[in-house]
Amino acid sequence: MMARMSTPRTPSGQLTDHDYQTLAAIRYALRRFGYFSEDAARSAGLTPQQHQALLAIRAAEKSALSVGELAEFLMVKPHSASELADRLAALGLVGRQPGMTDRRVMKLQLTPAGEAALLSLSVTHRDELRRLRPLLSELLAKLD
């Protein structure tokens, strides 16, 4: 991939050529994982954003998120998260349930079909991250 160079130490705030090479290699590895993730989602019949939404919902406390919380997690506008939730509901992957403390707030929860789709993708992603762990660990150690 990239030639290895010695790691000279510089004062804080200054970067060496090695630092730039390491940062570039980390960015490259993360982008490759991003492309892997997008392809895996599409192969499962989902958009990458739908996959991220399912994961966010499942990872949330009590496996339920409001549309506003989903918007925050995905870093999108609330109306975009609402449209995404509508599409996921139309696909039968999420359901809506009134919140416990505020019945006006609808909480999104995965349906059994959503759980199944997410499980398959998550196993694939976990395996890919395990494969990448040595490379990422090595690259991150170079930043020390």
Check if the beta carbon of residue 62 is closer than 8 Å to that of residue 93. Answer: no
Binning pLDDT at 50, 70 and 90, where does residue 68 land? very high
* pLDDT tens digits for range 24-60: 999 999 999 999 999 999 999 999 999 999 999 999 9
Q: Options 3.40.50.10540, 1.10.10.10, 3.30.300.30, 3.90.400.10; which CATH number does 17-141 get?
A: 1.10.10.10
- E strand spans, the chain: 64-66, 94-98, 106-110
Give residue limits of the domains in the chain: 17-141
Q: What is the DSSP string of 9-26?
A: ---TT---HHHHHHHHHH
Does residue 2 register a pLDDT over 50? no
Which pLDDT value is given to residue 43? 97
In whole angstroms, how far apart are CA 104 and each of 44, 46, 58? 33, 29, 21
Q: pLDDT (tens digit, 9 = 90+) per residue, 70-106?
A: 999 999 999 999 999 999 999 999 999 877 777 777 8
